[in-house]
């Protein structure tokens, strides 16, 4: 099960250890993820309370940035490449925040999908690696008819009919 993101905490709620320039902040509640908090060489001279205070300050700053952030979804124009390949990581990544793609079957007898983006056939694994570059984000999938226009259909929020 996925652990909760770290939260502002107090010294009695965590165990702090040091690994080089990093403070390892482990919540006593196992439902929360452990954080490797990069501080620098001064970490060895800091008290646990100073580390918790600095950590909480960073969490508050992240929360403030998140509250001020206005997300605009970018869709690459038709005819322009939506994905790009990175040889160093041996994977595809999205150039924008929207992917127009088609779903196809793999070789006959295999029930593994092939995802076609920009006329490139991505295996289920390749597409999964591409999607993993957005780990921590949400995702919506709209299934649309293959009409090549890639226009968003009318959306209705309701229970499906039979």
Neighbouring CB atoms inside 10 A of 124's CB total 13
Give mean pLDDT, residues 141-158.
Answer: 80
Q: What is the pTM of this model?
A: 0.64
Q: Reduced to 3 states, what is the DSSP secondary structure of residue 38?
A: strand
Confidence label for 23 from pLDDT (cuts 50, 70 and 90) = very high
Angle at alpha carbon of residue 101, lines to 100 and 104, rounded to 5°? 165
Per-residue confidence (pLDDT) for residue 148, from 0 to 100: 63
Name the pLDDT band for 35 (thresholds 50, 70, 90): very high
Q: Specify the pLDDT at position 8.
A: 96
Average pLDDT, the chain: 92
Q: Region 136-156: what's the mean pLDDT?
A: 81
CA distance 92 to 89: 9
Residues 6+ apart with CB under 8 A from 4: 31, 32, 33
What pLDDT, on a 0 to 100 scale, did the predictor assign at position 145?
Answer: 82
3-state secondary structure of 128: helix
| Domain residue ranges of the chain, discontinuous segments joined by + | 11-68, 71-162
- For position 136, what pLDDT does the model report? 82
pLDDT tens readout for residues 42-73: 999 999 999 999 999 999 999 999 899 998 99
Kindly report, residue by residue over 58-114, the tens digit of the pLDDT: 999 999 998 999 989 999 998 999 999 999 999 999 999 999 999 988 766 777 899
Where are the strands (E) in the chain, listed by range?
14-19, 22-27, 35-38, 83-86, 91-94, 102-105, 113-117, 120-123
Higher pLDDT: 84 or 5? It is 84
Geometric angle at alpha carbon 161, from 157 and 162, rounded to 5°: 155
Which three-class secondary structure state does DSSP give residue 84?
Answer: strand
């Amino acid at each position: 099960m996925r652990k909760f993101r770290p939260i502002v905490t107090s010294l009695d709620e965590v165990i702090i250890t040091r690994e080089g320039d990093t403070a390892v902040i482990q919540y006593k509640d196992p439902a929360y993820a452990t954080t490797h908090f990069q501080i620098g060489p001064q970490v060895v001279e800091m008290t646990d309370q100073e580390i918790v205070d600095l950590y909480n300050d960073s969490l508050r700053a992240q929360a403030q940035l998140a509250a001020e952030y206005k997300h605009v979804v970018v869709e690459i124009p038709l005819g322009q490449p939506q994905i790009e390949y990175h040889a160093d990581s041996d994977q595809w990544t999205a150039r924008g925040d929207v992917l127009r793609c088609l779903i196809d079957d793999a070789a006959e007898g295999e029930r593994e999908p092939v995802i076609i983006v920009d006329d490139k056939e991505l295996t289920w694994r390749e597409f999964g690696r591409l999607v993993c570059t957005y780990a921590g984000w949400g995702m919506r999938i709209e299934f649309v008819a293959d009409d090549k226009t890639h226009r968003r259909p009318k959306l209705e929020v309701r229970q499906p009919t039979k």
